[in-house]
Amino acid sequence: MLDIGWSEMLMIAVVAIVVIGPKDLPRTLRTIGQWIGKARAVTRDLQNSVNDMIADSEIEELRKAGSSMGDFGSFGSGEILNQDVSIEPPSETDQSLADDYPTPPPTPKERPPDQRKGDGGGDAVAGDTSSVKSKSA
C-alpha cells in the first residue's frame, strides 16, 4: 500500500520518539489510529454507496431493456400454457418404419466358454515354466 520497509519504519519510530517524546507517544499513536479508523469507515461508506448506485443503474437498464422488447403476442398472455395437449398412439406408418429395422440379438446370460476361468486350456500361470521343456535337456 505505502510500500514502507523495516528500515523506514525504524527511522519514523526514532524521529517520533525524539520529536514527540516517550511520554506523549502512546496518546499520539492512539489518536493516529482513531483517524485511520475513521478514514477507513468513510472509504467503506463511499465504496458501498458507489456499488449501490451501480446496481441501481444496472437494474434500471434491465427494466428499460425488458420494456422495450414489447409484447410477444399470445406467449405473454398465457394462452399457450392453457392449451390442451393430447398424445395420440403411433399410426400404422410409424409402425411400418419400425418393422424395417431388425430386432437386436438377445444379450447372453453367460460369457462364452473361452472367457470363463478354468476353461479353454488357459490354466498356465504367467511366468510358470514347469510345463515348458528347456532346449538343453
Name the band, by pLDDT with cuts 50, 70 and 90, for residue 137: very low
Q: Is the dihedral of CA 36, 42, 48, 53 positive or negative?
A: negative
Whether residue 131 has pLDDT greater than 90: no
Whether residue 81 has pLDDT greater than 70: no
Whether residue 45 has pLDDT greater than 60: yes
pLDDT at 74: 46
CA dist., res. 50 & res. 45, Å (int): 9
Evaluate whether 17 touches 25 at the Cβ level (below 8 Å): yes
**Axis-axis angle for helices 25-69, 6-20 (nearest 10):** 130
Lookup: cell for 54: 451501480
pTM beyond 0.75: no
* Structural domain spans, the chain: 22-64
